[in-house]
Structure 1
Amino acid sequence: MKEYELYCIGSVEKMCNLSKKALRYYDKRGILCPDEVSDKSGYRYYSKKTLLSVPMIKYYKQSGFKLEEMKDLLSETSYSTFQKSFKNKIEELKEIENELNLKLKSIEDWYDLITEADMVIENNVQDVSVKYLDACKMVYLNQDFNYDYIESIVNIEFTNYIEHINNAITGPVIIEYPSFEEKINGKCNKMTIMQRTILKNKDFEEIEFGGFMVAACYHIGSYETINNTYKKIKDWANNNGYKCSEKSYERYVIDYWTTKDSNKFVTEVMIKISKRKK
């Protein structure tokens, strides 16, 4: 084909796999303008040389460039300008990638908790078991405790603190109680709320969690009956030659964050244990 041969918009649509609507829009925005426009019919005609911009436009679009950015790149001949534009786009896309990864991590972890709770309820998993907790670091906040679970778990002060340190949290809320005996006797007035962070920065203190064995038991249902699960763990430890430590941990798998039906709450109660000396 001769370079000066002109193609009507219908031919360009087929040749370049671009809709007439897109071609008209690109013309309006000054991205891909026809070589000629008929005075009588208003039909647009494009040369093959002009159409060679189409692959570039598609690649720029794939790479995340906006139309105005494409316009500048298509008319630019300076190597340094291209280098600067591409460097800026890389930085912009990396920021978007980080935001998407944060959102994906948050949703994936929440979905895992819902799946875990579903399996616990479906199989009525409420037996005491021994498990090792992998050591990890968590962001934390020491607070007063008054047995108002919803305020402790859906925690405004803790949320404000996470925002203050410019971070984001994921996974289940875990609360450490200094004495499980005091807790079940209604005398506990202190707690430490903990959660994993997503972003890596050192503008805050972390607490070491795990790295030890626990007796764990899922509690299904309202927190009003959670003392029954504590008693179950305590009895199990006594009957199996284990000694319970003073602290306890409640890992909220499904709670107020996910459902208002307390019958579907799933909480993993954990108490650090050691084997009694004979």
Structure 2
Amino acid sequence: MLSIGEFSKICGVSTKTLRYYAEIGLINPDEINPENGYRYYSIRQLKKMLFINRLKSYHFSLEEIKTIMEWEDDQSEEKLGIVLNRKRREIQEKLNAFEYTLKQMSNDILNLEKGIPIMSYLGDIEVQLVEIQPMNILYMRQMMTSDDYALGYGTYFGRLYEKAATEKLTLLGTPMTIYHSPEYNPAGNDTEFAIPIKEPVKGTRDLPGGLCAKSVLKGPYSELTSVYAKLREWVENEGYKLVSSPYEVYVTDPNQASAAEGMITEVYFPVKKK
């Protein structure tokens, strides 16, 4: 048996953390002396603690780790492989975002050294007035929190594509998101996920056509706020006003883009003259 101090030293985990892990039921001492309350761990628990440390190093939350530790069926290894693959994708997405941020910072530093204002890139965002035809869309509308978006997009678009495949519907375009909330609220935003469909079946609706101010983003979604700001400025300066909710059309699948710069998103502001 190992004292809590010995166990702590071997595994590189503080005794305070070990007590907390026991409190939440993640890993309990193998034995507690009833007279003095001293905690002891068995040699076999070293492997369990190292497994917990490994999952923590992969950025799993303690709640996620506890769930994994509770798997005891024959499919536990298969389940572990699935969640590891999912976590790897999440980490890769964060790495890609950091790489893009570093590249962006380097460009900003270079421009500043040349005397070019850091926000001058807004002048490179093009806006055009286009006429959009009405379309029939297969849709799903949800209240989405700020934390929901990353995973929510795949979930809801996946359901729409599954319905389209099951009912053998004809796709007429790429996925789109329509934002109905009048203001941004981290606690929840009225968001509609949609795919243009030929057949007017249950679960579809008409999306009216008309004039739209349009801009195209070639880059990560984090840059969309700049596009929205530029579109809103253009609408004001050109004497137009918004008549319905703005929407985004995802021309490229982010999972298929080799780099953030290869992602193409179209942003539309339905407008009319004041």
TM-score bucket (shorter structure): 0.3 to 0.5
TM-score by length of 1: 0.47
